[in-house]
Amino acid sequence: DRFLREQEADLSESISSLQEIIERLNRTTNRMFQQTFEAVQEKFGEVFSAFFAGGQAELVLVHPETGEDEEDPCQEPGVDIIAQPPGKRLRNLTMLSGGEKTLTVLALLFASFLTKPSPFCILDEVDAPLDEPNVVRFARFLPQLTPLSQFLVITHNKRTMEVADSLFGVTMEEPGVSKFVSVRVADFEKV
């Protein structure tokens, strides 16, 4: 009987200790999430304005509802993107044109890179849905990020290629035989 009471007390103490650890981790995680969210939010507005030569954009936390007019504390919030290109009404991302959506999402991606840079980023034909003026905006912004991260951009767009340090391509000089070609733009400009 005494053994069982000791075991019960030990288990209660362990449960209490684990609950305290979980609460402390949740507080730390929530604080870090909020700090990062606010930093990305600020950079997102700046990059969006740079891409669109004005306008505004923001990230909005969307909390899942339990159906009882309360938020479920166990659920993680989602993020909604609200954007207003110059001369247009404030809209949800889904209401923007294809090019506007692309630039808005790129603004969010680049905002996260400016907040916490990654050493490497691959962008696969992200400029494909952009019209000429928006490709130019994208291409002009990309060099601002290269001191922070190395970018590998897969593209068919000559405007995007113009800002590259190096170009790599694959050609077929004869059927069925691929040839890899690379050019350092700085070396090419010297000639």
Q: Which domains does the chain have, with CATH numbers?
A: 1-116 (3.40.50.300), 117-191 (3.40.50.300)
What is the model's pLDDT at position 68? 53
Determine how β-strand 78-84 pairs with β-strand 91-92: antiparallel
Given a contact cutoff of 8 angstroms between Cβ atoms, the answer to whether 130 and 63 are in contact is no
E strand map for 10-66? 56-62
What is the model's pLDDT at position 91? 81
Pick the closest to residue 130 from 161, 93, 101 (CA basis): 101
What is the model's pLDDT at position 170? 87
What is the model's pLDDT at position 90? 82
Pick the closest to residue 126 from 112, 143, 114, 109 (CA basis): 109
What is the rounded end-to-end Cα distance, in angstroms, of the chain? 92
What is the model's pLDDT at position 96? 87
What is the model's pLDDT at position 19? 95
Q: 126 is written with which tokens?
A: 């992200």
What is the model's pLDDT at position 74? 61
Distance (Å, rounded) from C-alpha 51 to C-alpha 45? 10
What is the model's pLDDT at position 73? 59
- In the chain, alpha helices (H): 2-52, 98-115, 132-145, 158-161, 185-190
Phi first, then psi: what are they for 63, rounded to 5°? -95, 130
At which residue do the structure tokens 């170009």 appear? Answer: 167
What is the model's pLDDT at position 161? 92
What sign results for the dihedral spanned by CA atoms 94, 97, 98, 100?
A: negative
Pick the closest to residue 47 from 95, 114, 97 (CA basis): 114
Distance (Å, rounded) from C-alpha 33 to C-alpha 22? 16
DSSP 67-109: SSSSB-TTSPPEEEEEEE-TTS--EEGGGS-HHHHHHHHHHHH
The pLDDT profile of the chain, 191 residues, written as one tens digit per residue, is 888 889 999 999 999 999 999 999 999 999 999 999 999 999 999 999 999 999 999 999 888 765 555 555 566 778 899 999 998 888 888 888 888 999 999 999 999 999 999 999 999 999 999 999 999 999 999 999 988 889 999 999 999 999 999 999 888 888 989 998 898 888 876 65
**DSSP type of residue 125:** S
Contacts of 146 (CB under 8 A, 6+ apart): 165
